[in-house]
Structure 1
Amino acid sequence: MKKTSSTFSILAIAIVLIALSPMGINAQVLNQPEAAPNPNLGTTSAWTAACASDSFNEYFVNFTWSPPLVASNNEFILELSDSNGNFGSPLELDRVTDKNTVFDFDFQFAVPTTTRGENYRMRVRSTNPAKTSPPSVAYPMHYVDFDSPLLISEDGNGTIPPGGTIQQCSGSSVTLAAHNIPNPETYQYNWYRSGTPLSEKSHEITVSTPGMYYVELDYGSVCSGSANTQSNTIEITTGSASGIAINGASTVSLCAGDPYTLVSNISGLGLTYTWYKDGSVVAGPTLEGHTFNINTSVSGFEGNYEVEIEGPSTCLERSSAVTIQNLGSLQVTRQNDADIVLLPGQNTTLSVTTTASTPTYQWYKDGTPITGETNSTLNINDTGVYFVRVTETGGPCAGAPVDSESTTVASPDSFEFVVEFVGSYGPCQNTEATLNLSTINAVSALGAKTNVTSDLESSFAYQWSYEGNTLGGETSRTLTVSDQSNNGQYVLNGVLNTYNVASNTLEVRLASDEILNIASNSTILCVGADPITINTFRALSGETFEWQRNGTVVDTSNEVLVATEVGTYQLVIRTNACPIVSNEIEIQLFDESLLVLDSPENIIIIEGETETVTASGASSYEWFDANNNLLGTLDSFSFDQEGEYLLVADFGNCSVSRVITVSFRDTFAIPNVITANGDGINDLWVLPNTFSRDPQVLVTIFDERGREVFSQFNYENNWPESTTSFSQQNMIFYYKVTKEGKSLKQGTITVIK
C-alpha cells in the first residue's frame, strides 16, 4: 500500500495507546510443538518416534500459544526440519486456518515418504503476525517404504550360493550386496557378522573374514526392528590354494589332425574340473576330469586353454593359460569392399592378400571356378558373387585351403539420395541452415542398398528445388538457407546417364532474428497496490499471439496483460512458421522481510552521540519524526535524539513501514548518599534520565519513621529543597520510584550535613 499523510498519525495513536495501557500490548507467544497421542487409536501416550508406512501414517502434534489474538486471516503452519534438525528448507506438514481463537489444539500430519533420520524437529509458524515457535525436541522419524526381508548374494548377482556358503582363498575377498530392493543405494544398512554389528552402512560390503553375514535396513534406533527387513545369511569360509597348472609347455604348435591332450598337474583328490578355451567353458565341470583332448580336426581349435578346480577345503582356483597355435593357419584378407555397384560399361578390380608362405589362388564367380584366374587380383566387368580360394603349398602343414570373404558385384535398379542438415539444426532454433547430400545409395531390384557416395558423388548433375520450384543457380551438393522468408520444403534432384533421382524432403524452419521485449510497471504483487501491467512496444494487431504464465496460455486477445498472480510471464507471437518469444518477467508476491535493517528497531544511545541505521532491499526510503516531518530520503539516517521515528520503504507499488525507537542510555546509577551542605557539590539527589522528568513517574521520599516528606511526578532533581532542614548530622531516608502504580526502584538515601 502506498503511504499517505495519515499513515504516521495512525502509528502515533497506536504508540500512545501502548504507552497508556497499564500492561502495554504483549506480543503473541508461540510455544514449541510436542508429540501428542493419536485419538483414533484410543491411547493416552504420545508417540516418541514416527515409524510410518503405507499401512499407517497418522500422527498428531500438540501446539499452544498465548494471546493477544492473531489476525482473522492468520494461518498456523506445522513445519519439519531436515534429518539434522535444520530449518534451511522446511517441509510443510499441516496448515490450519480455523484455530485463530483456539490457544491449545492438535495438528494432524503424515510423515513424508522421503523421511529417514534420528534428529527431525518441528516448529509452528503463524502468517499474521509472522512469528515462529521454538523448535521441538528431536524425534526419530522414518518412512518405512520397504518392509520385506532383504536378499543378499555375491556382488548382488541374485544367485544365493548352495547351502548359503561362499568359499574364498586366504587373502582374497568377497563382496556381498542386496539384490531385491529398488534403488538400493538410497538407503542405509546395518550389516552383521555372526551377530556383531559392522560399521559399513552401504548396500554392499566387501569381506575377507570368515563368519555368518546378514543385513537389515537401517531405519534408526526405533524403527529398524519394526520393518522386519533382516536378510538371509551367507557363510564365508576359507580354503587353501592348490597351485593348479597345466603340465607341459606354455605354448604348443599343432597342425590340423594332430592329437594333443592337456593334463592338469593335480589329480586323484576328488576335485571337480572345468576346462576353458578363450574364457569360455569347453568341458565340465567334471569330477576327476583332470585331462582334456583338443580336437585339432575342427577349424579354430587354436586358442588359450585353462583349467579350474574346486572341492571340499579347496579354493576355487584357475590355472595359467596354455596357448595352442595352428601351424597350418593362414589368413586371407579382402582388399576391396564387400559390395560393389557396377554401372554398365564400367569395370573394377578385386584383390586379396595372404599370410601363406607359398600360396596358390583360384577365383570363383557364383560358386564356379573362373578358368585361368589364379592370381591375387581379378579384373571384372560383370555382376555376380566373387571370392578366391588360397592353398598353402609349403610349410609344416601344407594343403590347408582358405576361402576369402565374398564380394557382391551388382548393377543398380535405381539410386537413392539422402540429404541432411549440417551441424546442430533444430526447427525454429537456428537463423541459418545448411543442407547437404550425405549419402548416395545404389538400390537393387530387391531393395538392397549399397553406399556408393565416394564412387559416384562427382558423377551426378545436381539441382535444388524449393516448394516444387527449381532454384536458379543452386546446382551443388550443398545449399545454405539464411532468410526466414524462405522457410519451406527443399529437395535435391540428380541425373546420371538414364538415372533420375529425387532426394528425401527437408523442411527448413528458421527462427526469426527479431528481438521481442516486454516490460511491466512492477514485479512485486501486493494487496491494495496499483495493478501490474505487462506490455510490449511492438504492435500486435493482426498477429496471432498469446500471453503465458509459467508456460500456460492465459490471454490471447489483449495487447496489455494485467498480472494478478505470481509467476513467470512471457509473450509468444505465432503468426509465422516459427514463434517469436519474448524475454521473461517474474512477478513475485510481496514479502515485508525484503526490507532489512542493519540494527534493531529499538536503539539505545548515549546522550550526545549518534547512531546510524541503514536499510536495504527497497527502491526508495523516507524517514519521518513523530510529527510526520520528512527527515531524509537516503537508505540510512543518523539518530542523536530520543523519540519515535518512522521509516517508509517503497518496493515499486508496495511499501513497508517500520517504527524505530531511540532512547538515551543512563550513564550513572541512582545515588544513595548526598551532602546537603550548600557547597554546590552533590547537594541534590539527582536521578538518571530514565526516572527524572517523566510525567508518568512518581518519586516519593519517606523519613526514617515512614512518614512521607516528598512526592512529585515529573521529578526535576530538586530534592532536598533549600527550605528543607535536617535535625541530625547524618539522616537516612527511604525512596520509592513508581510508574502507573508499578514499583520501578526503591532504596535508601543518606544525607550528610
Structure 2
Amino acid sequence: MEKTSSYNRILVFAFATLFLISGILSAQVLEKPTTVWTAACASASFNSFDVSFRWNPPLVDSDNEFVLELSDANGNFGSPTELVRLDDKNNDFNFDFTFSVPNNVRGENYKLRVRSTSPAKTSPATDSYPMHFFNFSSPLLISQDGSGNIPSGGTIQACGGGSVTLAPHNIPNASTYSYNWYRSGTLLSEKSESITVNSTGMYYVELDYGSVCSGSANTLSNTIEISNGSSLGIALNGSSDVSLCPGDSHVLEANVSGMGLNYTWYKDGSVISGPTVDANTFSIDTSISGFEGNYEVEIDGASACLERSAPVTIRSLGNFEVTRQNEENIVLLPSQTKTLTTTTTATTPTYQWFKDGSPITDATNSTLEINETGVYFARVTENGGGCSASPLDSEKTTIVSPDSFEFVVDYVGSYTSCQNTDVTLSLSAINAVSGSSAKTDVTTELQSSFSYQWSHNNSNVNGETSKTITISNFENNGTYKLDGVLDGFNASSNNLTVTLSTNKVLEITANGTVLCEGADPIVFNSSESLGDETFEWLKDGSTIDSSSESITATDVGVYQLIINTHDCPIISNEVTIRTFDESLLSLDKPQELIIIEGETETVTASGAESYQWFDANNNLLGTQDFYNFELEGEFLLVANFGNCTSNKVITVTYRDTFSIPNVITANGDGINDLWVLPNTYSRNQDVVITIYDERGRQVFSQSNYENNWPQSTTSFNKQNMVFYYKVTKGGESLKQGTITVIQ
C-alpha cells in the first residue's frame, strides 16, 4: 500500500476500494427470522405457525423466490426440509411465512432459516426450537404386557417379589415413540414403550413430546398400582399333555379354589373365559373343530397376586398331521445314500414307507435310508385313544441321478464396484442338477472332491486352482469364472465382474474461492496430468468442459473434476465458489470505538482469509485477525477473501471524563447553550435519551443523541425551567436526573 501523511488519503483509498466493489458491498442482507412462539406443538387439529422475516435492499431479481427451510432435529442444515416457498414478496422487505410442522418432526433443537434463490443467499439460522407433531394425542391406556386387561381397581400384585411388565395397548406403532414413565410422581429413566418393574408404587406414562410440548399433547395414561403379594403356586391338576377324541368330555381344574378369587382361562394365549369369581374349572368342548391347544388359568384377587399356571397341552386323537422334513427333489450321487424323514402329531403312530407306489419291506420307522432313484412317501396311522382316523400320507420325495453340476461363486465380504481396492471371490455352493433341472446342494459332500481352475476374461489364471481367488490390482479388472472336474463331470460357475478402484487421489485447487468484480480470475488446476486422460469438469453436477486441463470460474457453484479413462471414474474433491458479500467480514466491536485513556481494547475480525491493520498514515500495524487499540485515531482494516478485498474504517476516541451537566444557559451566546453528554452516552444507536418537563410530559426522545438539545426551535415559557432526563439502553435505566435551563 502507498504511504501518505494525510488521513484524507486513507479515506480516499477506502472509498475507491468500496467503489470498485460497490456491486458486491451493496448486496442484499437476509436478516435472522423471528417468531413470537417459543415451541411448535402441532397436531392434526392445529398446525399453523408464523415466522417473521426482514431483508434489506437492493431489490432481488424478478424471478427470485424466498424459501423457509427447517433443519434436522440437531439443528443441522445438511439436508434441510422446505416448508414454504413464496414468489410474490420480492418488493416486500418485511413479511411473514405461515407453515405447517411436518408429521415426522419430533425434537428439541430444530432451527429455521430463509433462503433466496436469485441471488442465492441464506439468512442466519434462528435459535433452537422444540418442535413436535402429535401423531397421537389421546390418553394412553396401560395394562400388564399391553394385553388390554386393566385390573379392577387398577392394582396388580407382583407375586413373590417378581416383576410386572406394563405397556400401552391403545396406540398404533407403539415402538416408534419415546415415553415418559413415572412412579408415584417421579420421572423414571425408561423411554421405551414398555417398562418392567418390581418396586411398589403408582405407575403411569405419557408420550415424550419434549420439555414443552409433552403436557399439551394430553397423552397421560391411567394409573396402575403395583403392590407385593405372595404366590399361591397356581397349577392345573392332572397330566400336562392330554389326548382326546372328538366328543370326549374333559374338565381342567385349578389346584387353588374356594378363596373368592377371579379366574381367567386362556387358550393359546387368548382369553376364552372370565375373569369369573371362583371359576376354578373349565370344560373343554371337544365337539367343535380346533379344540386342541395349550390351556392356562390366571388368578387374582384380594388374597392373591396376579399369577398364571403352566400350560396343559390338549391334543385331538382324531386329527393329526404328517410333515415331510426333507427336500421335495433330491439328486442321488453314485454310491451315495440319503435319509428321508417324516414327522407327525399323532399320539401313537405307525409308519409304512412306499417306493414308486409299493410298500417297502421292513420300512416302518419315521426315517428311511435310500440309495436308489424313485418316488418315496410315508403312510402314518394313529393307533392310540378310543377314536380312529384314516391313515395320512406324507408329501412325496423324488430321488433322481445327477445330470450335471453347477458352481455358485460370490464375493467374500463387502464389495462395491469402483470402491474396493481388492476383493476375494470364493465358491459358495455346488448344486447337483437332475434332468428335470431340480437342484440339490451338495457343497459339503463334494467341495473337497472337485479339481478347480479360475479363468479371467475366458483365459485360465496360472496357479489359481483353489476354491478362492484374490484380485488386488485394478489392471486385472474383468470377468471371473470357476470351472471344476469330478469323475467325468464338468462344472462351471456364474460369472462375477470385478471393477476395482485405481486407488489414486485426485485433488483440484483454486487460487481463490470468493468471486468478485475487478479481482483476478479464479483458476482451477488438477493434481494429475490430464494430457492423456478422458475427463470432465463439472459445476453443480453438470459438465462444463472436457478439453481444458485448467478452467476459470466465472459463476458461483460447486466445482469438481472426474477422470473417466479407467474402468472406474476418479472423482476429485469439491470446491465451492461463492459471491463476495460484505457481511462475510464482521467485527466483535463497533467501528466507532470508545476506550478509556491508558487502557487497551481488542477488536477481533472474522470471516476473511487474511487481515491488515493500518493507521491514518498508512503504516501497517499488524496482520493478525485482531488488534489491540490504545490510542485515539482513525484506522483501516483491509480483509482479503482470496482475490477479493473488503475494508472497514475504525474510529477510536477516548471516553469523556466529565459528568452529565445539570445546568445549561440557553441564551444564544454560544457558550453552554446545548446539553452536551459524555461520549459514553452520546452518538450511540443503542442509547436512548428522553427528557420530560416539570409536569412529566415528554418533550424530547432520541437514540444516537447528537448533543443537540435544546434545539433552536425550542421555546421556554419561563426564564428558569427544570427538566428531568433519563438515559436508557435496551430498556434498562443507566442514568437519570434534572436539567436546569437558565435564559
TM-score for the superposition, normalised by structure 2: 0.57
Aligned partner of 1:561 among 551, 560, 563: 551
For residues 313-392 of structure 1, the aligned pairs below 5 Å read 319-321=308-310, 341-344=331-334, 346-348=335-337, 371=361, 381-384=371-374
Say if 1:574 and 1:315 are closer, same or farther in 2 by CA, change over 3 A: farther
Aligned partner of 1:505 among 491, 495, 501: 495
Runs of 5+ in structure 1 lacking a partner? 15-27, 36-48, 101-105, 192-197, 327-333, 392-400, 673-697, 703-738, 749-753
User: What letter matches 1:72 in structure 2?
Assistant: P
User: Residue 49 of structure 2 contacts residue 100 of structure 2 at CA under 8 Å; is this kept in 1?
Assistant: no
Number of equivalences:
597
How far the C-alpha of 1:701 sits from its partner, in A, is 9.0
How far the C-alpha of 1:499 sits from its partner, in A, is 1.7
Aligned partner of 1:525 among 515, 520, 524: 515
**Aligned with 1:534: secondary structure?**
strand
User: Residue 599 of structure 1 contacts residue 613 of structure 1 at CA under 8 Å; is this kept in 2?
Assistant: yes
User: Residue 51 of structure 1 contacts residue 141 of structure 1 at CA under 8 Å; is this kept in 2?
Assistant: no
How far the C-alpha of 1:488 sits from its partner, in A, is 1.6
For 1:226-260, what per-residue CA distance to the aligned partner results, in whole angstroms no more than 9, with x for missing partners? xxx9999999999xx99998787576687999996
How far the C-alpha of 1:507 sits from its partner, in A, is 0.8
Aligned partner of 1:580 among 557, 561, 570: 570
Say if 1:280 and 1:461 are closer, same or farther in 2 by CA, change over 3 A: farther
How far the C-alpha of 1:174 sits from its partner, in A, is 6.9
Say if 1:232 and 1:580 are closer, same or farther in 2 by CA, change over 3 A: closer
How far the C-alpha of 1:262 sits from its partner, in A, is 2.4
Q: CA RMSD in A?
A: 7.2
**Aligned with 1:454: secondary structure?**
helix
**Aligned with 2:156: secondary structure?**
coil
Structure 1: distance between partners of 2:562 and 2:241 = 77
Match of 2:97 in 1: 109
User: Residue 169 of structure 1 contacts residue 315 of structure 1 at CA under 8 Å; is this kept in 2?
Assistant: no
Aligned partner of 1:625 among 615, 621, 626: 615
User: What letter matches 1:170 in structure 2?
Assistant: T
Match of 1:538 in 2: 528
Structure 1: distance between partners of 2:115 and 2:463 = 74
Structure 2: distance between partners of 1:125 and 1:174 = 47
Structure 1: distance between partners of 2:462 and 2:113 = 76
User: Residue 84 of structure 2 contacts residue 98 of structure 2 at CA under 8 Å; is this kept in 1?
Assistant: no
- Per mean C-alpha deviation after superposition, the further-off stretch among 418-427 and 446-455 is 446-455
Match of 1:9 in 2: 11
User: What letter matches 1:429 in structure 2?
Assistant: Q
Structure 2: distance between partners of 1:31 and 1:440 = 66
Aligned partner of 1:171 among 144, 152, 156: 156
For residues 266-281 of structure 1, the aligned pairs below 5 Å read 274-276=265-267, 279=269
Structure 2: distance between partners of 1:167 and 1:589 = 71
Structure 1: distance between partners of 2:739 and 2:221 = 79
Alignment of 1:449 onto 2:439: yes
Match of 2:506 in 1: 516
Structure 2: distance between partners of 1:550 and 1:700 = 67
Greater relative contact order: 1 or 2 (C-alpha under 8 angstroms, separation 6 or more)? 2
**Aligned with 1:110: secondary structure?**
strand
Alignment of 1:414 onto 2:404: yes
Aligned partner of 1:485 among 475, 479, 484: 475
Say if 1:80 and 1:488 are closer, same or farther in 2 by CA, change over 3 A: closer
Match of 2:416 in 1: 426
Match of 1:467 in 2: 457
Match of 2:282 in 1: 291
For 1:588-646, what per-residue CA distance to the aligned partner results, in whole angstroms no more than 9, with x for missing partners? 44454554546543344455666555545533332323344444445554545422111
User: Residue 80 of structure 1 contacts residue 120 of structure 1 at CA under 8 Å; is this kept in 2?
Assistant: no
Runs of 5+ in structure 2 lacking a partner? 17-28, 158-164, 316-323, 344-348, 382-390, 663-668, 674-705, 712-737
Structure 2: distance between partners of 1:377 and 1:254 = 26
Aligned partner of 1:601 among 591, 598, 604: 591
For 1:643-669, what per-residue CA distance to the aligned partner results, in whole angstroms no more than 9, with x for missing partners? 211111212112221212122345567
For 1:443-469, what per-residue CA distance to the aligned partner results, in whole angstroms no more than 9, with x for missing partners? 233333221112111222222222223
Structure 2: distance between partners of 1:528 and 1:13 = 15
**Aligned with 1:491: secondary structure?**
strand
How far the C-alpha of 1:424 sits from its partner, in A, is 1.4
Q: Which entry has the higher C-alpha Rg, 1 or 2?
A: 1
User: What letter matches 1:98 in structure 2?
Assistant: N
For 1:10-37, what per-residue CA distance to the aligned partner results, in whole angstroms no more than 9, with x for missing partners? 37889xxxxxxxxxxxxx9x999999xx
User: What letter matches 1:171 in structure 2?
Assistant: I
For 1:72-112, what per-residue CA distance to the aligned partner results, in whole angstroms no more than 9, with x for missing partners? 348999999999xx999999997954357xxxxx6243134
**Aligned with 1:8: secondary structure?**
helix
How far the C-alpha of 1:580 sits from its partner, in A, is 0.9
Structure 2: distance between partners of 1:93 and 1:170 = 54
User: What letter matches 1:320 in structure 2?
Assistant: S
For 1:280-328, what per-residue CA distance to the aligned partner results, in whole angstroms no more than 9, with x for missing partners? 77x7679979334698xx9998x964235899x99997641265799xx
Say if 1:98 and 1:534 are closer, same or farther in 2 by CA, change over 3 A: same
Alignment of 1:659 onto 2:640: no
Structure 2: distance between partners of 1:664 and 1:456 = 95
**Aligned with 1:656: secondary structure?**
strand
User: What letter matches 1:110 in structure 2?
Assistant: T
**Aligned with 1:72: secondary structure?**
coil
How far the C-alpha of 1:503 sits from its partner, in A, is 0.7
For residues 673-712 of structure 1, the aligned pairs below 5 Å read 700=671
Structure 1: distance between partners of 2:597 and 2:113 = 41
**Aligned with 1:382: secondary structure?**
coil
Say if 1:532 and 1:627 are closer, same or farther in 2 by CA, change over 3 A: same
Structure 2: distance between partners of 1:601 and 1:530 = 29
Say if 1:627 and 1:340 are closer, same or farther in 2 by CA, change over 3 A: same
For 1:28-58, what per-residue CA distance to the aligned partner results, in whole angstroms no more than 9, with x for missing partners? 9x999999xxxxxxxxxxxxx9999899969
Structure 2: distance between partners of 1:556 and 1:236 = 72
User: What letter matches 1:113 in structure 2?
Assistant: V
TM-score for the superposition, normalised by structure 1: 0.57
**Aligned with 2:10: secondary structure?**
helix
Match of 1:685 in 2: none
